[in-house]
């Protein structure tokens, strides 16, 4: 592998070079902790959840920059290529989702350095692509009390993400006494298929009054299994759903259960409510000014996925947004790549944001 790279992307290069799918983040975390030390951070450590944590400064006021260091599986050869449309681009798993934003946080804080009265805390959280154990741990620690929070997710360097949809997963089981195949009764598997069709029909009707994708329910059938034990036949569906801000996970589970009294709805994993922040805060104003200063035309977006923003922002109750370089349509794809000009611009934007917020 060609190890030559521009010196101003050293953090990005090495982070992406450390392949770290969820559950295998240790080497990348250890490298990032070492990088914090190299860049002059006040403190650097790996916390009890396995997150990489770097602290710049020692003031009572905090700005937390929370990125994630894990990726989905599927290693992509690390390389820099030149394209006519985007100039120099870095190919590699995690370059967009979301080591690009995390590296930008790391470099921007190092460039700003300590500021009187402030701490800048950069977190490379583990397990975001599964159950977000890293962010859940951070959210429960009392020594995190940020005045502002920035979550590292790709939004293009000119845009700021205000919110993400929620998510909920469930296992739905239908069972009935075993009957002879000559009987006219529907099998449990057929009843499960009917249940799914009835659910999607109800959701389609519900979504007619919700023209924007961010405001719609978006259920997906993730799996269907069936079987019998000689006395009982059963079928199970594994259902996921992206939730809008006005429908909580509990309300969604109740809606699923109402489709059929015979269906047993069992929540799986961690349900996450949707989150949408405010447009007019000191944090958003700082981003708008910084993006313009870097030559961009700023804009706000909301995303139909789910992120660690949903977990920490309600807990901390402070102005919070997601920001980072990269095209989120490349998330989890074999073509994941990040234009280096966009990376450099995002670092400048973050520097200006931190300087503006800590100037008072």
Name the catalytic one among 25, 70, 97, 107.
70
Whether 73 and 324 have beta carbons less than 8 Å apart is answered as no
Which distant-in-sequence residues (6+ apart) come within 8 Å of 151 by Cβ?
66, 67, 307, 308, 309, 312, 313, 320, 321, 322, 323
Query: How far apart (Å, rounded) are the C-alpha atoms in residues 69 and 312?
Result: 16
Query: How far apart (Å, rounded) are the C-alpha atoms in residues 233 and 335?
Result: 44
End-to-end CA distance of the chain: 47
Assign residue 74 a region: left if phi > 0, alpha if psi is -120 to 50, beta otherwise? left
Other C-beta atoms closer than 10 Å to the C-beta of 205 total 9
Other C-beta atoms closer than 10 Å to the C-beta of 65 total 29
Partners of residue 123 on adjacent β-strands = 53, 66
Other C-beta atoms closer than 10 Å to the C-beta of 236 total 20
Query: How far apart (Å, rounded) are the C-alpha atoms in residues 264 and 81?
Result: 52
The answer to whether 70 is a known catalytic residue is yes
Tokens of 36: 């914090």
DSSP string, 337-354: EEEHHHHHHHHHHHHHHH
Alpha helices in 160-262 (DSSP H): 188-207, 249-257
Whether 158 and 296 have beta carbons less than 8 Å apart is answered as yes
Name the catalytic one among 25, 97, 107, 128.
128
Q: What angle do CA 336, 101, 1 make, to 5 degrees?
A: 50
Query: How far apart (Å, rounded) are the C-alpha atoms in residues 191 and 237?
Result: 11
Which of 230, 62, 26 has its CA nearest to residue 138? 62
DSSP string, 136-167: HHHHH-TT---SEEEEE----TTEEEEEE-EE
Whether 302 and 133 have beta carbons less than 8 Å apart is answered as no
The answer to whether 308 is a known catalytic residue is no
Which of the residues are catalytic? 70, 128
């Amino acid at each position: 592998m060609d190890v030559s790279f521009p010196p101003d992307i050293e953090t990005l290069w090495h982070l992406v070079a450390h392949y770290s799918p969820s559950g295998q983040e240790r080497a990348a975390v250890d490298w990032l902790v070492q990088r914090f030390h190299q860049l002059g951070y006040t403190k650097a450590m790996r916390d009890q959840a396995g997150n990489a944590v770097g602290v710049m400064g020692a003031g009572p006021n905090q700005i937390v920059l929370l990125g994630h260091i894990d990726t989905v599986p599927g290693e992509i050869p690390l390389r820099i290529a030149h394209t006519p449309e985007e100039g120099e681009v870095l190919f590699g798993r995690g370059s967009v989702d979301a080591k690009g934003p995390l590296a930008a946080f790391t470099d921007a804080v190092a460039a700003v350095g300590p500021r009187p009265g402030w701490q800048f805390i950069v977190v490379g959280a583990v397990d975001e692509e599964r159950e977000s154990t890293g962010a859940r741990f951070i959210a429960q620690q009392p020594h995190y009390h940020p005045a502002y929070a920035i979550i590292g997710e790709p939004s293009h360097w000119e845009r700021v993400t205000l919110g993400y949809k929620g998510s909920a997963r469930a296992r739905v089981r239908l069972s009935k006494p075993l009957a002879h195949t000559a009987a006219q009764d529907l099998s449990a598997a057929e009843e499960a298929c009917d249940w799914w069709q009835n659910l999607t029909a109800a959701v389609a009707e519900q979504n007619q009054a919700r023209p924007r994708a961010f405001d719609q329910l978006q259920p997906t059938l993730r799996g269907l299994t069936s079987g019998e034990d000689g006395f009982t036949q059963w079928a199970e569906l594994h259902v996921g759903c992206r939730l809008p801000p006005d429908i909580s996970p509990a309300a969604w589970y109740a809606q699923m259960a109402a489709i059929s009294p015979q269906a047993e709805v069992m929540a799986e994993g961690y349900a996450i409510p949707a989150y949408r922040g405010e447009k007019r805060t000191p944090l958003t104003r700082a981003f708008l000014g910084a993006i313009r200063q870097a030559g961009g035309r700023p804009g706000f977006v909301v995303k139909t996925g789910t992120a660690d923003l949903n977990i920490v922002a309600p807990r901390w109750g402070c102005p919070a947004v997601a920001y980072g370089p990269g095209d989120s349509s490349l998330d989890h794809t074999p073509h994941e790549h990040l234009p280096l000009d966009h990376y450099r611009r995002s670092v400048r934007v973050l520097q200006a944001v931190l300087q503006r917020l800590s100037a008072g």
